Homo-oligomer: A and B are copies of this chain.
Amino acid sequence: MGKTVNLAQYLFARLHQLGVRSVHGVPGDYTLRALDALKPAGLRWIGNCNELNAGYAADGYARVKGISALCTTYGVGELSAINAVAGSFAEYSPVVHVVGCAARKAYKSKAVIHHSLGDGNLRVFADMYKNVTVASASLFDPDTAPDLIDKTLEQCVKESRPVYVELPSDMVGAEVPESRLATPLDVHPPKNDGKLEEKVLDAVLDRIYTAKQPYILVDGLVAPDQIVEEVNEFVRVTGFPTFALTFGGGIVNSKLKNYHGVHASSYGSLDFTPYTDRADLALLFGPLLSDTNTQGWSAVPKKASTIAFRRNAIEIGESESHALHIKAFMKKLLVRLEPKRLPSDIPQALSLPRHSFRAEPAGLENEKPLAPINQDKFYRHISSFFRPHDIIVCANGTPLVGGRDFILPPKTKLINSSIFLSVGHMLPATQGAALAQKELGTGGRTIFFEGDGSFQATAQELSTIIRYKLDVYIFIINNDGYTFERLIHGLHEEYNDVAPWRYLQAPEMFGAPNDGSYDVETHDVGTWGELAKVLASEKFQNGRGLKMVNVRMAREDVTSNFRAALKLAGQQLMVDPGDEQ
């Protein structure tokens, strides 16, 4: 078969071709030999502290780079990671999960091997993974393995969702033709049916031109759908009032005058419903319409007046759905859009709220220095610290809610969770994102906001950030427990408490070097004055090393308008949690 490479080399070469430069994971005996093939393929091993965290980290890396890889051992490793992969599946992060498993003979003999359930059914975990991946490659046959790898990786990119690769330890060394690697993988989106596309373009444009009170609603799948630029251009050209759902909070350039920020119905710090409720057209991009992301669907436009732009379908009104890929469609839409035919008499009162929001005392210097920091203003004030190209990550809980109030500079990226909302997800994801950012060399910093309860769930990945000398800001929103849960139910109950850690000692405990090779600063702030002082420091602004700030906030504080949503959520747990988050 001519020149050959072994199967692990082949797999890793393909990952490298797709843009992967680092593989997250935890070693295990079934994976060890495969790991030897990483370095020769130009890939770096990032050893996380456990597999769940490695999965979260891979998710964060994928959200920045558009692809990532996770490698765990069979059984214990993959099952530990399955919640992270399920989250990537739910939120469209393309993660390739490589599972090193036993040699093929063990499968044939149904051996009672370690890391299995002991019943001889070695396929059980791969079967579970079918629920949270879009394709899988069970590499049991050297003849079909390369093709299986190719098809599976292509699927990962095309659907922007996780795939599963099962690599028996004795297949690592199987020789396969190297020549295949010369043909790049086909990750292009499918071509649209030209006739259908034109017809739908006509219909969409007609709705746009004849709208009386239109708005654009941008959600987070615009990023994996790779239409961030197109959507921004569409927002700019139309000038339509534009909002984001929480998940899409970082997509639209805040400098655009017609962008008004996050729409969280009456629970947002700004309430846009007087406009949106009366709109006759909602142009909805990249929607992921979970209860949480839409405040119990209260921010979802009526279907009859909606055109939804999804990855593989354009949906018009109540029932029309056309199988068209979004990327090509958006490009054509922008070409065909005639600005002069756009409705010109759109109510403009809307610019007011966001304007007033922006015009508020932006500077911390206008707050009383001794006044305590609160959730209502923290996220707006901290926005002045952000710079273009920064990646901003919000953990679940109060930062996810507060982050709706960010005013982001252009070319920043906001990472948050829309539906899966797994506690602890975002610290490892921040590690992955910071690494991806470093690899891309785009400049900018990685800035992370996380509550104390979340931090405890996956805290050890702080040591991974330190070990690989990544540049990360961590603002611990320290409100002494699960505040988000408290306000739903059990305000003073012990089950919403967490242990009182000394958070700022974490970098040292987790092995921060004291030889000058990596800079760590920690700060404790409870007042606006203390926060202002930290933010003003040039050294703090430089983005190098680890900067960790313990931001003390009141135990029951949350942005004002959202308090009602949490209260309602608590009441409705008895009836229907679907009505409200």
Interface, chain A (partner B; CB < 8 A): 26-30, 32-33, 35-36, 38, 45, 47, 49-50, 52, 75-76, 79-80, 82-83, 86-87, 89-90, 102-103, 105-106, 109, 111-118, 124, 127-128, 131-132, 169-170, 172-173, 288-292, 419-424, 456-460, 463-464, 466-467, 482, 485, 488-490, 493-503, 505-506, 508-511, 569-570, 572-578, 581
Besides A103-B577, A118-B288, 6 new A-B residue pairs in contact (Cβ under 8 A), listed by A number: A29-B488, A32-B495, A36-B490, A103-B573, A114-B291, A115-B420
Q: Name the residue among A50, A75, A460 with the largest chain B CB count within 10 angstroms.
A: A50
Whole-angstrom distance from the CB of A124 to the nearest CB of chain B?
Answer: 5
A75-B420, A499-B467 as given contacts; A33 in contact with B117, CB under 8 Å: no
- A421 touching B508, Cβ below 8 Å: no
A111-B291, A463-B501, A488-B29 as given contacts; A86 in contact with B79, CB under 8 Å: yes
- Alpha-carbon distance A485/B89, docked complex (angstroms): 31
- A117 touching B105, Cβ below 8 Å: no
- Alpha-carbon distance A45/B497, docked complex (angstroms): 11
- A499 touching B490, Cβ below 8 Å: no
- Alpha-carbon distance A420/B38, docked complex (angstroms): 27
- Alpha-carbon distance A89/B125, docked complex (angstroms): 14
- Alpha-carbon distance A438/B102, docked complex (angstroms): 40
A50-B458, A75-B420, A576-B106 as given contacts; A466 in contact with B170, CB under 8 Å: no
Question: Given the complex, which residues of B lie within 8 Å of A76, measured CB to CB?
Answer: 83, 86-87, 420-423
- A83 touching B90, Cβ below 8 Å: no
Copies of this chain held together in the complex: 2
- B456 touching A29, Cβ below 8 Å: no
- A291 touching B113, Cβ below 8 Å: yes
- A106 touching B458, Cβ below 8 Å: no
Identify 15 residue pairs between A and B in the complex whose beta-carbon atoms are under 8 Å apart, listed by A's number.
A26-B423, A26-B457, A47-B495, A49-B499, A50-B423, A50-B456, A76-B83, A79-B86, A103-B574, A105-B578, A127-B131, A170-B576, A173-B574, A501-B509, A502-B511
A52-B80, A118-B290, A505-B505 as given contacts; A574 in contact with B170, CB under 8 Å: yes
Question: Given the complex, which residues of B lie within 8 Å of A495, measured CB to CB?
Answer: 27, 32, 35, 38, 45, 47
- A485 touching B29, Cβ below 8 Å: yes
Question: Given the complex, which residues of B lie within 8 Å of A131, measured CB to CB?
Answer: 117, 124, 127-128
- A574 touching B169, Cβ below 8 Å: yes
**A173 (CB) vs chain B CBs: closest residue:** B574
- A505 touching B509, Cβ below 8 Å: yes
- Alpha-carbon distance A291/B112, docked complex (angstroms): 7
Task: Pick the residue among B115, B456, B577 that contacts A169 (CB under 8 A).
Answer: B577
- A499 touching B466, Cβ below 8 Å: yes
Question: Given the complex, which residues of B lie within 8 Å of A578, measured CB to CB?
Answer: 102-103, 105-106, 109, 111, 113
- B511 touching A509, Cβ below 8 Å: no
Whole-angstrom distance from the CB of A564 to the nearest CB of chain B?
Answer: 15
Question: Given the complex, which residues of B lie within 8 Å of A420, measured CB to CB?
Answer: 75-76, 114-115, 117
Question: Given the complex, which residues of B lie within 8 Å of A170, measured CB to CB?
Answer: 573-576
- B117 touching A86, Cβ below 8 Å: yes
- A489 touching B109, Cβ below 8 Å: no
- Alpha-carbon distance A32/B484, docked complex (angstroms): 12
Question: Given the complex, which residues of B lie within 8 Å of A490, measured CB to CB?
Answer: 27, 32, 35-36
- A103 touching B510, Cβ below 8 Å: no
Question: Given the complex, which residues of B lie within 8 Å of A83, measured CB to CB?
Answer: 76, 79-80, 82
- Alpha-carbon distance A30/B32, docked complex (angstroms): 40
Whole-angstrom distance from the CB of A82 to the nearest CB of chain B?
Answer: 6
A499-B511, A574-B170 as given contacts; A485 in contact with B28, CB under 8 Å: yes
Question: Given the complex, which residues of B lie within 8 Å of A576, measured CB to CB?
Answer: 103, 105-106, 170
Question: Given the complex, which residues of B lie within 8 Å of A506, measured CB to CB?
Answer: 509
**A128 (CB) vs chain B CBs: closest residue:** B128
Whole-angstrom distance from the CB of A324 to the nearest CB of chain B?
Answer: 21
Task: Pick the residue among B35, B113, B573 that contacts A32 (CB under 8 A).
Answer: B573
Question: Given the complex, which residues of B lie within 8 Å of A457, measured CB to CB?
Answer: 26, 49-50, 460
**A45 (CB) vs chain B CBs: closest residue:** B495
**A513 (CB) vs chain B CBs: closest residue:** B500
Question: Given the complex, which residues of B lie within 8 Å of A577, measured CB to CB?
Answer: 29-30, 102-103, 106, 113, 169
